[in-house]
Amino acid sequence: MSQTPESHDNTLRVVPWIDPIVESRGFSVNDPYIEMFWLPVLGPTATWLYRRLVSGVLQNPSGYTVTMDELARTIGVAYTQGRHNPFARALHRCVMFGVAEHVAVQPIRTLAVRQSLPSLPHRHLSRLPHPLQIAHHDWIQNMRESTHSPSRVS
């Protein structure tokens, strides 16, 4: 069955964004760090979309194809053509904040998605409420201390 232009425009190919540095030092999609610090930057809908995109990549490591309508419904929002709907804004935010990137438009729209996210960049961290900035500092400090402490051998 061939796709009509309208249905083809509604199709999204999702592939992994391979970045060995971020993957070795970053935070996985289900790490509490994502919800604590990235969620206020991305917003709730974009965070859920990011998690859904990565979940699909983890199940299909070579990538997968999904309709944007179906993808939108899996995170509880509607998809309509255009840029002014919650799904389109969430997708735009994922790209704008570097958790995903457009890698192709033809023959099918393709989006690469990070499976891990880096520590929040300073420009975003400085916009968080002060208590979250302090919590982030403590989080990173504790992480550094646990990495530099001698490992226990049983």
Q: What's the mean per-residue pLDDT of the chain? A: 88
Q: With bands split at pLDDT 50, 70 and 90, how would you rate the model's confidence at 96?
A: very high
Domain count, the chain: 1
Domain coverage including residue 27: 5-118
Within a domain: residue 31?
Answer: yes
Domain membership of residue 139 (yes or no) is no
Tell me the pLDDT tens digit for each residue of 35-88. Answer: 999 999 999 999 999 999 999 999 999 999 999 999 999 999 988 887 788 999
pLDDT value at residue 8: 54
| H helices, E strands: number in the chain | 9, 6
Average pLDDT over residues 110-121: 96
Q: What is the mean predicted confidence (pLDDT) over 101-117?
A: 92
Q: Does 25 reside within a domain?
A: yes
Q: Are 132 and 37 in contact (CB under 8 A)?
A: yes
- pTM, two decimal places: 0.85
**Domain annotation covers residue 69:** yes
In a domain, 21, yes or no: yes
pLDDT of the residue at 105 = 77
Pairwise CA distance, residues 37 & 23, whole Å: 18
Residue closest to 8 by CA, chosen among 108, 92, 111, 112? 108
